[in-house]
Structure 1
Amino acid sequence: MTDAPSDPALRFEILGGVRALRGDEPIDLGPAKQRAVLAVLLLHAGQPVQPHQIIDAVWGDEPPENGANVVQKYVAGLRRALEPQRSPRTPGELITLTTGGYELRAEANALDADRFQEGLARASTERKAGQLAEAADTLRRALDLWQGEALAGLTGPIFDSARNRLTDARATAWEKWADIELARGNHTGLMPDLARLIEQFPLREGLRAQLMIALHQGGRQAEALAAFRDARAYFLEEFGVEPGERMQETHRRILRGERFYAEPVDPWADSDDLPAPPAATASPPSFVQQYVPPDVTVVVPDHRPTSTPPSYPTGAAAWGLGPPAPPAYARSGRGFPIGEVIVATLLPIVICGLGGWIFFAYAGVRRQDKRQYLVALGYAALFVLAVFIILIDPSAAENPDPSSTEWIGVMLLAGVTVGSSVHGAVLASHPGDTPRSRNLRLQARQFAAFDPQRAHGIGIGRPDLLRAFDDGGLVDVNHVPGHELARLPGISSREAHGIVIDRLNRGPYTRPEDLIVRGVLPMRTVHRLSSRLICLPTPPTTTPPNGWPSTYPPHSAQHYS
């Protein structure tokens, strides 16, 4: 953040809902879109943001007409709310208009995410000085700044990416706090917190290893081993992989009955405190843009073949006791939604076309596909039209033979009934983007952010490989062949070929937005596919002389968005 003239009592929060406070009093930030504009400016605090960047972040694929004027209107509303003493026609001091766009100039540490970073840095200094109690207290105060999910209520690739980075930073801070508490011998009081944190961050193997250590240190070895079995079952079921080296080594030491933290240690001696900032850019990024959790030790499964698609067994097959089990999503019986197909087929027939629109409205909500709302509206309109034609029949009521008008209405009603029934069955048989798929993609992204090397090893984002898990349809732009890219909606065969050639000539992509920067795909296509795309780096092929697995480069996790 940069210092600039501003109300010193003005504070901003994004570690929860987006809020602004003057002292302890919240400020009315106006409509939801206006708060979203403020969030974009906060994520780029101290840097100019072009209006088109704000439009892309806030509205995505559905920009408003005269978008620049709409952004100007919302910025004016924010200025009135945040600088009430400013004269109407004087330039804004907090949100200024520069040649590069709108720039938010707040006081240093006015943003709670920056105060969170400052707490982590102070805790690092304190633990280096051997002040473990003070470092643990500082971390807890920093973590207390969180009031829920970061940027709560905001959706879109920009906000989702920032939310993932902040969530990873939060989980890492909890791990470091737990390390200090274990080093201080506070294993008993730590157990409830670790159990809660594992539910909140199920993919963080560090937290699971710490719970095992706390149970073991408390004389509850059987429960510590049970915690490992539970963790192993979770990772095998969800991803078809064994737990990482840290959990494996902790498990071995518990089996041998070894003690942990037998004497005072530096719990972070083998890891960097905070990552160094990335290479200099035109404007230095804020903490929200650059912070990445510290290095994580990862292991590539050594059974990964180099020339044939991998198959990662689960259950007895994982121990060589039988043939590989079928994929988790095939075992679950959810590969073909037979129930939805039956409902979609019978609903219009049972109620004579009246409900032909109901399934499509449901599909629009479930899949977050606005096109289905239009289909539902179309079937509803055709049903109303058919009934209207039948009711306005001009022929005499006592005439037993149906008139031509009535026949038209009846045929139209039959067409709506049969058409919506068949159409609904076809749509239901192709599950599309369901809540389950979105949840699977979220889990796979979290796994990739935590352990990118192993994520690459097991084939996350590789629908062309035989895998023992379902990642919700993610596509790894850096490694899938061209024909898989061409199967994505909106990407032609020529564009898919261009992506493959570009990544060969200019190196891998660090984030999906690089497809726009390099001119390979248009912005609208990338934004439409952003929930499906992931960019995993290729893991290093060299093995350190000591034979231990190498630590993954510290700045990679920020790009798994």
Structure 2
Amino acid sequence: MTGTPSDPGLRFEILGDVRALRGPEEVDLGPAKQRAVLAVLLLNAGRPVPTHQIVDAVWGDEPPENGSNVVQKYVAGLRRVLEPDRSPRTPGELIALAHGGYVLRVDAGALDADRFQSGLAQATAERKAGQLAEAADTLRRALQLWQGEALAGLSGPAFDSARTRLTEARATAWEKWADIELARGNHTGLMPDLVRLVEQFPLREGLRAQLMIALHQGGRQAEALAAFRDARAYFLEEFGVEPGERMQETHRRILRGEPFYSEPVDPWADSDDIPAPRASPENARPAAAVAPPGGYVQQYVPPDVTEVVPDHRPAPGLAQYPVGAAPWAPTPAPPAYAPPRKRFPVGEVILAALLPIVICSFGSWIYFVYAGIRRQEQRQFFVALGYAGLFMVAVVIAAANPSPVDSPDLTSTEWIAFTMFAAIAIGAAVHGAVLASHPGDSPRSHTLRDQARQFATFDPERARILGIGRPDLMRAFDDGGLVDVNHVPGNELARLPGISSEQAHRIVIDRLNHGPYARPEDLVVRGVLPMRAVNRLSSKLICLPARQHGTPPGGWSSTYPSAHYG
């Protein structure tokens, strides 16, 4: 068993809960923040991680006053539990202090994410070698390493970004496995898995296309066409776009009754994973005439193949259609209208203003607790605690020198207390009304941003056409307030909280001189914005890549760079 330099029986897991195991026993990693520090080091295993980067990842906008000392304390705690036999005064072998920060030394195979990636690489080699059964088995074993959502229980831009990358790799592995099983003729046994995977990864058109093929190959053409209609309704409702060219082509071939796979040769015989050009119907020869004896003829482009290379490129400006298929039209631009404006939350403003007054300042904290839960803003809980504390202070003052029961006059302390009650009620009413009139982030906005980001990762070209991250454009749907720093004009950047007009101008000039940003963190790397500002805005920033020429708009293409975001 492989492991760390200091303990060959120690291994780590991040494809689920963050855990460390020594043999069959789980290691107690201590407090939640200490576990989060280990997660940051595991995500950068073998590379020095500066202390400030650990602080930003674990604490985000609310770092501790002595961040470096707190990180040092948690690293010491990790060393104690992960290297129990190490002398307290000797330097750590597992977590070492390097010039650039702390580095976690993990041997190959000791981290489940590394084993997962190794399994994908091995399956790709086996697939190219024609070992389909072995490749499918390797992929299943790699996918069994997942115990749930990656980095479960950890929140923050750094963990969210890593979780998205790992989840995309997982979905890609499922697509590759499903394609191999379809190539092997296992369409019947594959259907339940594909139904589950489509529900789990609704934006992966490859999985939806594979479900259609499995149903079609199983003689269930009507259900295959119904799966396309369901997918089309989903993409139109969520994003206002038609399914991509891959699903459109699969749909056309099912309507024509064409088979997708023939028996039996290695579908990835070509070393570059690019199938031979598809011949036109009039020039096509029977498969038996071109396939070697006992060979396999693939008639379907697998998930990691991005386009069919024609024998002759059409002249520039002419439409390019799949040979023998009905012409397809580029995805049209979205309708020229903006999403409906958000209504002013009159009811919520009235409730927030009246609540502290109606119940005599006792409930001055209630609305802020609600706002903190709804907006997922921790500072609102501190505001609520402050109002509750002021109320208790006023109660203590009133009780310090109470007037006699039969006396019509109030004591001076009671007057002070009642003045405080009134001030708390009025202050909480005004504060709550102002807060309610600016809805800010909500769970729905978070969901919309997550959906838009997934769509942009899946198909950046159509994301640009739809105006994701472009609040300056008229668009047909709400992306939850994303801002694409590579394409949005400077005046929109200056609207973001914490970004001045000068900084917005600097961003625009920098991207013109040095090219687009690959991820929001590049704003810090290039010295345009401080880390704290990027962390504060990371939930709303996205970096869509420049358009890749030569690919039909709206078409399926895994050659697009992924959309990066915080």
Report TM bin, short chain: 0.7 to 0.9
The normalised TM-score by structure 1 is: 0.84
CA distance in 2, matches of 1:358, 1:271: 65
Q: 1:63 to 1:130 in 2, by over 3 A?
A: same
CA distance in 2, matches of 1:206, 1:161: 22
Shift of 1:138: 0.9
1:490-524 deviations in whole A, cap 9, x for unaligned?
A: 00111111111111111111111111111111111
CA distance in 2, matches of 1:531, 1:80: 35
Q: Where do residues 288-437 of structure 1 align in structure 2 (5 Å cutoff)? A: 301-304=330-333, 310-311=334-335, 327=339, 335-337=343-345, 339-387=347-395, 397-400=405-408, 409-410=417-418, 412-437=420-445
Q: 1:272 to 1:335 in 2, by over 3 A?
A: farther
Number of equivalent positions: 518
CA distance in 1, matches of 2:368, 2:452: 29
Shift of 1:167: 0.5
Q: What's the RMSD between the two structures over aligned residues? A: 3.0
Shift of 1:267: 5.2
1:301-343 deviations in whole A, cap 9, x for unaligned?
A: 5433xxxxx536xxxxxxxxxxx7x74x66xxx7554553453
Aligned to 1:20: 20
Q: Which amino acid aligns with 1:311?
A: P
The answer to whether the Cα contact below 8 Å between 1:495 and 1:521 also exists between their aligned partners in 2 is yes
| DSSP 3-state at the match of 2:493 | helix
CA distance in 2, matches of 1:538, 1:373: 41
The normalised TM-score by structure 2 is: 0.84
What percent of counterpart residues are identical? 75
Q: 1:465 to 1:271 in 2, by over 3 A?
A: farther
Q: Which amino acid aligns with 1:200?
A: Q
Unaligned runs of 5+ in 1: 274-292, 305-309, 313-323
CA distance in 1, matches of 2:271, 2:477: 31
Shift of 1:348: 2.7
Q: Which amino acid aligns with 2:381?
A: Y
The answer to whether the Cα contact below 8 Å between 2:244 and 2:555 also exists between their aligned partners in 1 is no
Aligned to 2:461: 453
Q: Which amino acid aligns with 1:187?
A: H
CA distance in 2, matches of 1:429, 1:385: 29
Q: 1:269 to 1:519 in 2, by over 3 A?
A: farther
Q: Which amino acid aligns with 1:303?
A: P
Shift of 1:173: 0.2
Shift of 1:440: 1.3
Aligned to 1:470: 478
Q: 1:453 to 1:27 in 2, by over 3 A?
A: same
The answer to whether the Cα contact below 8 Å between 2:96 and 2:102 also exists between their aligned partners in 1 is yes
Shift of 1:140: 0.5
- 2:489 is aligned, of 466, 478, 481, to 481
Q: Where do residues 196-235 of structure 1 align in structure 2 (5 Å cutoff)? A: 196-235=196-235
The answer to whether the Cα contact below 8 Å between 2:16 and 2:151 also exists between their aligned partners in 1 is yes
1:543 aligns with 2:550: yes
Residue range with higher mean Cα deviation, 460-469 or 29-38: 29-38
CA distance in 2, matches of 1:473, 1:8: 48
| DSSP 3-state at the match of 2:7 | coil
Residue range with higher mean Cα deviation, 125-134 or 424-433: 424-433
Rg: which structure is higher? 2
Q: Where do residues 44-443 of structure 1 align in structure 2 (5 Å cutoff)? A: 44-264=44-264, 301-304=330-333, 310-311=334-335, 327=339, 335-337=343-345, 339-387=347-395, 397-400=405-408, 409-410=417-418, 412-443=420-451
Q: 1:550 to 1:239 in 2, by over 3 A?
A: closer
Which gives a bigger RCO, structure 1 or 2 (Cα 8 Å, sep 6+)?
1
1:3-50 deviations in whole A, cap 9, x for unaligned?
A: 973322221111111111122211122222222222122112122222
The answer to whether the Cα contact below 8 Å between 1:301 and 1:457 also exists between their aligned partners in 2 is no
Shift of 1:300: 10
Q: 1:26 to 1:122 in 2, by over 3 A?
A: same
The answer to whether the Cα contact below 8 Å between 1:10 and 1:110 also exists between their aligned partners in 2 is yes
Q: Which amino acid aligns with 2:509?
A: I
Shift of 1:190: 1.2
1:394-441 deviations in whole A, cap 9, x for unaligned?
A: 655444466776666555434433443343233223221111111111
Q: 1:378 to 1:89 in 2, by over 3 A?
A: closer
Q: 1:486 to 1:172 in 2, by over 3 A?
A: same
